[in-house]
Structure formats: structure tokens, C-alpha cells
Structure 1
Amino acid sequence: MAMEVLSRLLADYRELNTFHGIKISRGSPKITHLLFADDIFLFCHATTDDILTLKAVFDLFSDLSGQEINLSKSSIHFSRNVPSDLRRTLCTLIGIKEMSSESRYLGHKQEAFSASLQAFKSEISTYLIQFSNLYSKPRSEILTLSWVQQCLQLLPSMNRAFKKLMVDINYPMNRWQVPLVDDYLKESLKLLELLNSITSSLSHLGQARMSLSYALSLLENSPSLAMKTLEAIQPLGSNKKWEGEETKARQEVVRYSSGEEWVICQAMAIMKVVGFWICGVVASSLCGDIESCLKLRKLIEELPNSSLMSLHVSVCEEMMKKGGLFEVKEVNKGVVQLGAVTCGGSSSDEAEELRRRVEILGKLLKDVGNEVNQLFSEVLLERNNLLNSLHQKQ
């Protein structure tokens, strides 16, 4: 009933031509207000006359209905052509604040966006907590190739949550604006580069494993040549591609004009931080690079997830103890043991044990390699789908 009073007052002032609405097109009628449940959307020119008229309507409404407009819960959205000094003047005249960039959608819609974003954050947090809990006690499992594979499997889980978010807010990629598309293409390209770097580390370990297999094949007929060829696996060492990326990943989130874009941008920022941490930890583990692993702490300090920080600390502690992957350390121990007994005589048991370890290493490297290749293909497919949708819009 009260909203009907306010609606009637606005209509009367419009008929008197003292309150001007807006036209959404040249031939359309002027719109002064829209009602939705307990919310009202008001449309007027950015002039002192319209604002003072609107203030007079509010005062008259309060006198007639006995109710007051809650100005503290109201806000004004200006078009981009309104100068900042005029905005401040008009806001002061009516006593209503200007709407922030992330609140361009009022009432239920902004609340829905916030709820969808919070649901996305909770889902990502749940994945990280569950993963962290898997290795909270059996810390010996950390820095195994099976653990590396499970780390990488967090990436498609996050991507599924991101797709669900796009559905929830009804903002698929084919509706994205150019700045958001550019950001996504840039970050997905960086992810492809990081996956390529991981592939290089896997390739290095694979080649070292093949050299060991070849040396073991020589052992029976040419033991002296086999021992000359038999060498422990050396880590690839620090990968310079990773340096400085922990700072880039924390760059300030760009402000976007629409509520959907703001939600997607916030979600992409989270995926960027967590995704880079995952790739960074995996690469550091494969290279035995404790220094790079320690630097990743800066990346996640601002992420409100204590489980991820706890896991990161555990990974760094285990890397300082072990120096690298468990399977690689086991193979290298076998190389040392075989070399020791070969000098003294029979070495069949040690050779067989080393073959077993090398075979396990090869199988696990293949599994992780397949995981990385699958991730690479999925990221590439998403990029291509986005680019195709842009071409279709043109």
C-alpha cells in the first residue's frame, strides 16, 4: 500500500513535468520508476532540479504514509558521462551514497550474485580442506608421484566449480565483455606455459629412467660397462620461468562494470592463486627445488584458507627432509646399493630390486604425464571455445 502511494506521487510529478524520467530508446515512453516487492528503482536526470524534486517526493510520502525512506540502504548509480564533482553534489543534496562498482545490481540480484560467489569460494575451500586432510597425518605420502597426480586433479575440480558459477549467475563465456575475455585468455595461456614446464620436468625424469633401464640391461653381459653407465637421477634444478610469478598472481582485481563481470573476476582471481600454487608445488617437487617452493608462501598468505597454508608448510618441511620425490630417492638409493655390492661380487638381488623401483617410477611418471596432457587439452579446448564464440558474435 505504501509503495502505491509513492508510485502515485511520482506519476503526479511526472504529469506536472517537474520530475523527468528517462527513455531507453527514442520512441519509448519515459520511465520514472519500477517496483519490485519492497524495492523501488527510480530514474531521473542528473540535475539538481530532479534531485530536489525527488527529495520533495520523499518528504511528502513520509507525511502522507507515516513511513520514511531508508536512505542508508539506498544508493545512486550514475551514467559514466556524469562528472565526479556533480555526482558528489547530487548525493549530498539528497543524502544518498553513490553505488560502488561491485554493487551495480540492486536488491535480490546483487544478493544472488554474492551468494553464488560465496558458494564458489566454499566449494574451492572444501576441495583444499579435503586434499589437505588426506595428508595431514601420513606425511610420508607427500612428495610421492601419486600425491603429485592428486595435486593436479584439483585443477579440473576447480574448473567444474567455475563452470557451475557461470551457470548460477547466468553469465556464460559467450556473453563476456572484451576486458574479461582478455584476462581469461592471458591467464589460461600462463597456465598452459606452466603445464609445459611441468612436462619438461617429467621428460627429464623419464629420460633418466630410460638411461637406468639401459644400464641394467647391460649388467649381465657387460657389468663393467653397466656400472659406467649407471648413474643416479639428478634433479633438473630451478626453473627460471617460475621466478616472480608469485607476485604477478596477486595483482589487484580489476573493477568491472556489471555484477556478473565482478563475480567472474573475483572467481578468476581465486583460481589464479590456487592454480599457480598447485603448479608451483608440483614443479618444485619434480625439480627438487626447495627455494621455489618456499617462495610460494607469499602467494597464499592472502588467501583465507588455513588448510592450504598448513599443507604448504608440510610440503616444504618434507622437501627439506627428503630433497625431492620419494620414488626418485628410492631409485637413487638402489643405484648406490647396487654399486656397493657389485664391487664385492654378486649383485642379482640388488639389481632386481633396482629394476622394480625403476619400473614403478616409469609407470607413475606415465600416469602423471597423462594427467598433465589431459589438463593441457582441457585448457586449450576452453580457450578455443571462447575464441569461437567471439568469432560467431562478430
Structure 2
Amino acid sequence: MVLLAHKFSKLYSKLDNHIHNHHDQSMELSSFFQVFHLQVSILIGQLALDLESGFEVLSFSWIQKCFEVLPFMDKAFAKLVLDIDYPMSAWKVDSIERYLNYTLCLLELFNSISYSLSHIGQTRLSLSHGLLLLENKNSSSVASATRHLKPIQLGCFSFSFSTNFGKDLNIQGDNNNSKARFFSSKEIVINEALKEMKHIGFCVCGIMLSGLCNNGKPYLELRKMVGGFDGSLVLMLDTKINEQLLKKVPILKEVKEINDVVADLVVASDEVKNDVAKELKTKLQVFEKLCDVVKMKVDDMFAKVMSQRTELIDCIRMIKQPLKSVA
């Protein structure tokens, strides 16, 4: 009886130690996730503060700040993976699939943003060419210039993703508690972080595309595809931009200013036409620099995401882990 009690005591002690160790590990993992969550939330909160409700237009500078969230979030996620000692090579199939699908859609969104920037670049060049023709001051050049001096028209387009957003990203599965019980603690942390990254990534890209297209439809579509932003860090930001992107016709501040000057130039008298033309030229030069900066950031992020995907896919091939074809 004494021997049995001794064995039971040792078993209880081991069980108690296991529970304490598991609790300590969970607390540690939770703290790492909270650091990731806090770092990103501060940046999102600042964006919400910058976008005051009284503003009627978006600005390229604010859109640029929006996009800077993505590389910052990418670094924060990489640090989280390192902190919890859970490299991509150790991820479960579910997390790998979610990451590959998310990044694939992100790459397609970057392509859409680049396309929009290219369209803006073409209209800007047309205006610049019109100004050059206007400077010649002969009748034929002035007539030709008029055909080029048109307001910047930013077109909207429909998305055509190579994956089914809702299904392949398994949005509904993110909140499936019964499924979450089969994950390791580290797996749960990764999946929670990936869920937040999806919401933020699509919110930011939606804002950029709606601003670049002068249409709230891209943002609306992306928000719908991820099932809304309830419970996400971007919920406050979503509330603040709702009126600007959805209830009004969104137009970039810089585009509106250029279009206003173009309208003035078309009707300007000979006495002031030269001054108005110089103003338009200056605004176009500033706008070109802003576009180039945003395009460079988009291209850099595209290359980085592509590199990360390639690294993960190479790792999968090495360990020969079975995986659905999402690459």
C-alpha cells in the first residue's frame, strides 16, 4: 500500500510538473504573440489617427504610409517565428497552405497596384507632352496640346485571382475552435498571426487600390473576401475610412489638385496661361516622384514575398512533406 502511494505520488508530481511546464510555455508563447500584436497595432492606430474624419480626399503620402505597414508587419512576423523557435520547416501542412495562399493573393494584389501606377504614369506623360506642345506657342502645337490636356481619369477593374479567396484561404477555419485543439501551441500562435496578417494585408491593398482607382469597389471586394474585419486590428481603421472610400467618391488629393489646374489651364487667358502651365508642370513633377517612391516600395515588397515563398517551397521539397498544389 505504501509502495502504491509512493508510485501515485511520483505520477502526480510528474503530471503536476507537466501542467506547470505547459502553462509556462503557453504564457511565454502568448507574450511573444502580444509583442507582435502590439507592434502592429501601434502602426495601424497611427494611420487611423492620421486619417481624420474631416478629410474629404486621400493623399498619396498617406497611402504610402499605409503600404509601409506591410514590410513592418513582415519583419514583426519573422521575429515572432524566431522568438517562438518555430521555423517554417517545422510548420504543419495547414499553416504552410495558408501562408502560400495568402502570399500568392498578395502578389496578385501587388500586380494590380503596379498596373494602376502604370496607368497613372501614362496619363501623367500625356499631360507633360501637352505642356511641351503648349510651350511651342504655334497654332498647330496649341491645337495638339488641347487634346492632351485632359484631367487624369483613373479606371477601376475587376479582380481575377488565380485562387478562390474564401475557400483556399480557409477564412472560416480561422475561428474553428474544434480544429484549433489539434494544433500545437506554436501552431496556434502562427495561425493567429497569419490571420491578422491577412486582414491587414488585404485592408492596406484595398485602400491603395481604391485610392489609385478613384473607386471604393476594390476595398469593398477585398473586405468581403476576408469575411469583414471584425475582431481585427484594422477594425478602427476600417471604420474611419468607411465614409471616404464607400460613401463618397474617393480621389487622391494630388490627382484632384492636378485636375483642378488642368481645368484652369484650358480656360486660362493668354496673360495667365504661362503661369498656370508652370504650376501644372511643378505639380506633375512632384506627383511623378511620389508615384516612383510608391512603385519602388511595391516592387521591393513583391520581390521579398516572392523570395520567402520560394524559400518555403524549396524547404518543402527537401523534406518531401505532402502538400496540396497551392504553389
* TM-score normalised to structure 2 length: 0.82
Following superposition, the deviation at residue 325 of structure 1 comes to 0.7
Report what 1:336 is aligned to.
Answer: 263
Indicate which of 228, 250, 266 corresponds to 2:192.
266
- Structure 1 residues 358 and 369: alpha-carbon distance in aligned structure 2, compared to 1, 3 A threshold: same
Distance in 2, matches of 1:261 and 1:362, equals 44
Q: Tell me the SS of whatever aligns to 1:232.
A: coil
Following superposition, the deviation at residue 296 of structure 1 comes to 5.8
Following superposition, the deviation at residue 252 of structure 1 comes to 2.5
Report what 2:323 is aligned to.
Answer: none
- Structure 1 residues 314 and 11: alpha-carbon distance in aligned structure 2, compared to 1, 3 A threshold: closer
Q: Tell me the SS of whatever aligns to 1:131.
A: helix
Deviation per residue, 1:40-68 (Å, 9 max, x gap): 47xxxxxxxxxxxxxxxxxxxxxxxxxxx
Distance in 1, matches of 2:5 and 2:296, equals 64
Indicate which of 63, 70, 84 corresponds to 1:169.
84
1:295-314 residue pairs with structure 2 within 5 A? 300-305=228-233, 308-314=234-240
Structure 1, unmatched stretches of 5+, are: 13-31, 42-73, 75-104
Report what 2:107 is aligned to.
Answer: 192
Following superposition, the deviation at residue 133 of structure 1 comes to 2.4
Deviation per residue, 1:284-320 (Å, 9 max, x gap): 1100112443566665541254xx4443344343455
Report what 2:172 is aligned to.
Answer: 251
Preserved contact between residue 33 and residue 40 of structure 1 (Cα < 8 Å): no
Distance in 2, matches of 1:153 and 1:6, equals 64
Report what 1:206 is aligned to.
Answer: 121
- Structure 1 residues 206 and 271: alpha-carbon distance in aligned structure 2, compared to 1, 3 A threshold: same
Following superposition, the deviation at residue 121 of structure 1 comes to 2.0
Report what 1:325 is aligned to.
Answer: 252
Distance in 2, matches of 1:35 and 1:223, equals 90
Report what 1:391 is aligned to.
Answer: 317
Report what 1:279 is aligned to.
Answer: 205
Q: Tell me the SS of whatever aligns to 2:155.
A: coil
Report what 1:236 is aligned to.
Answer: 155
Which amino acid is the alignment partner of residue 102 of structure 2? E
Report what 2:64 is aligned to.
Answer: 149
Report what 1:35 is aligned to.
Answer: 14
Preserved contact between residue 131 and residue 277 of structure 2 (Cα < 8 Å): yes
Distance in 1, matches of 2:289 and 2:211, equals 18
Deviation per residue, 1:225-259 (Å, 9 max, x gap): 111222111111243348x9589684331635322
Distance in 2, matches of 1:296 and 1:187, equals 13
Q: Does 1:110 align with 2:26?
A: yes
- Structure 1 residues 303 and 238: alpha-carbon distance in aligned structure 2, compared to 1, 3 A threshold: farther
- Structure 1 residues 392 and 304: alpha-carbon distance in aligned structure 2, compared to 1, 3 A threshold: closer
Distance in 2, matches of 1:123 and 1:311, equals 16
Preserved contact between residue 53 and residue 240 of structure 2 (Cα < 8 Å): no
Q: Tell me the SS of whatever aligns to 1:236.
A: coil
Following superposition, the deviation at residue 200 of structure 1 comes to 0.6
Following superposition, the deviation at residue 321 of structure 1 comes to 5.3
- Specify which structure has the higher proportion of helix: 2
Q: Tell me the SS of whatever aligns to 2:41.
A: helix
Distance in 1, matches of 2:132 and 2:219, equals 36
Preserved contact between residue 98 and residue 170 of structure 2 (Cα < 8 Å): no
Distance in 2, matches of 1:147 and 1:134, equals 8
Indicate which of 3, 9, 12 corresponds to 2:7.
9
Report what 2:38 is aligned to.
Answer: 122
Distance in 2, matches of 1:303 and 1:216, equals 50
Deviation per residue, 1:64-94 (Å, 9 max, x gap): xxxxxxxxxx9xxxxxxxxxxxxxxxxxxxx
Distance in 1, matches of 2:172 and 2:115, equals 27
Which amino acid is the alignment partner of residue 160 of structure 1? K
* TM-score normalised to structure 1 length: 0.69
Deviation per residue, 1:126-145 (Å, 9 max, x gap): 221123223348847x6111
Report what 1:359 is aligned to.
Answer: 285
Q: Does 1:223 align with 2:170?
A: no
**Bigger mean CA deviation after superposition, 212-221 or 318-327:** 318-327
Following superposition, the deviation at residue 189 of structure 1 comes to 0.5
Distance in 1, matches of 2:273 and 2:214, equals 30
1:76-87 residue pairs with structure 2 within 5 A? none
- Structure 1 residues 278 and 40: alpha-carbon distance in aligned structure 2, compared to 1, 3 A threshold: closer
Which amino acid is the alignment partner of residue 26 of structure 2? Q
Distance in 1, matches of 2:155 and 2:170, equals 24
